[in-house]
Amino acid sequence: MGVGPHASKKMIDTVVIPLLKIAIVLNATLVGVTYMVLLERKVIAWAQSRLGPMRVGPWGILQPVADAVKLMLKEDITPTRADKWVFTAAPIISMVPALIVYAVIPFGGDAPGEVAHIFGRDVPLYITRINVGLLYIVSVASVGVYGIILAGYSSNSKYPLLASLRASAQLISYEVAVTLTLVSVILVAGSLDMVSIVERQRDRHIWFFFLQPLAFVIVLIGGLAETNRAPFDLPEAEQELTGGFHTEYSGMRFALFFLAEYANMIVVSSVVTTLFFGGWLPPLPTWLPFLAYVPGWIWFFLKSFVFLYIFIWIRATLPRYRYDQLMRLGWKVLIPLAIANLVVTGIVKVMLL
């Protein structure tokens, strides 16, 4: 049972490198999420002709640190009549799916130019590549809704209860539309594997946005609704439900909900980037070949950033939908459109390919 050079090599391959990747992605996500909050505050402030946070650090860039310290030091109150275990579990149930989704998101590919070099090995820039990547994302992300439902239920308070009822109805109906739409993308790509989907876009020299523009719009709207972002932020509508499902939460548990929301936003924009905008691929490779010198993960982040910016922009601009209107939009507009898109995609695929 000696630890020979072969065993240690295997050790690096199976344990060290994956752990390293997980650590990097997890930390990058958490830092990214906190800075996402700052970005949102800044962008909304600019939209509203304000400055936004300016006091902590130059131009407020240390604001996330101050926020984190504040939230961690705050008293963490559990209401006396709350269901204590569920009340504690809810934010965790919300946060964990939002983070583990990143396991299958490819920041780079397998091709020689796209991998990183660690310990003399070629390491692709994704944590894992599974052949049901997209299915994994959809199913794991839908677990997050339990966090919201349980938070509303366990708070034993009326406003959170109303909010969590809204949330469950909203998330379930929009998930139908989004998942149906993703099926048509899968038809085009011919794979559920996130890396393959991007590779298919590279091989066919076209981003799937141009093949599936309607699908992109539905996924973007559905993504807004699934992450509880404006104009679909009914479950946390401050003006109506005084904060919604997290009314009774404070301190770090509140922060978990908050972080989960932003983590989900990043997930949605990453998925949209991967499915419709060629993931880590540089734009216009034929006409602008020099863009290929920029590393793939930078392209990935730039593209995701555009969608994150759009999310914030929408929040700054639009009023909020009402509950019944939201359901009407979901069931009477998006789901029929998604089905129609799926049918047309299927027919075209069978007839032409």
Partner 1 sequence: MQQVSTVRHGAMFDTDELVLNMGPQHPSTHGVLRVVLRLDGEKVVDADVVIGYLHRGIEKLSENRNWTQIILLTDRMDYVAAATSNVGYCETVEKLMSIEVPRRARYVRTILCELQRIASHCLWLGTHAMDIGAMTVFLYAFRERELILDLFEEFCGARLTYNSMRIGGLPLDIPPGWAQKVLEFCKIMTSKIDEYETLLTHNRIWLERTKGVGVIPAAEAVALGLCGPALRGSGVPRDVRKDEPYAAYDEMDFDIPIGTAGDTYDRYLVRIEEFRQSLRIIRQATEGLPEGPIVGKVPRLIKPAAGETYHAIESPKGELGYFIVSDGKSTNPYRFRVRPPSFCNLQALPRLVRGHLVADVVALIGSIDIVLGEVDR
**Contact residues for partner 1 (CB under 8 A)?**
44, 47-50, 158-159, 162, 166, 230-231, 233-234, 237-242, 315-325
Min dist CB 234 to partner 1, Å, is 8
Q: Please confirm whether the linkage preceding 231 is cis (ω < 30° from 0).
A: yes
Output 122 or 238, the one with its CB closest to partner 1.
Answer: 238
In Å, the largest CA–CA distance within the chain is: 68
Min dist CB 322 to partner 1, Å, is 5
Instruction: Give me 180's structure tokens.
Output: 């149906």
To the nearest 10°, report the CA torsion of 174, 310, 287, 274.
-40
Helix boundaries (H) for the chain: 5-11, 17-47, 63-73, 84-100, 133-154, 158-189, 194-203, 208-211, 213-226, 238-241, 251-276, 296-317, 323-328, 335-352
Q: Which of 37, 17, 35 is nearest to 27 (CA)?
A: 35
On whether the CB atoms of residues 95 and 260 are closer than 8 A, the answer is yes
Output 139 or 317, the one with its CB closest to partner 1.
Answer: 317
Min dist CB 49 to partner 1, Å, is 6
Output 22 or 54, the one with its CB closest to partner 1.
Answer: 54
Output 187 or 310, the one with its CB closest to partner 1.
Answer: 310
Min dist CB 262 to partner 1, Å, is 18
Looking at residue 321, the DSSP 8-state letter turns out to be P
Min dist CB 259 to partner 1, Å, is 21
Output 133 or 231, the one with its CB closest to partner 1.
Answer: 231
- For residues 285-319, one letter each, b for 16 or more C-beta atoms within 10 angstroms of the residue's C-beta and e for the rest, the string is eeeeeeeeeebbbebbbebbeebbeebbebbeeee
Output 210 or 313, the one with its CB closest to partner 1.
Answer: 313
Min dist CB 337 to partner 1, Å, is 16
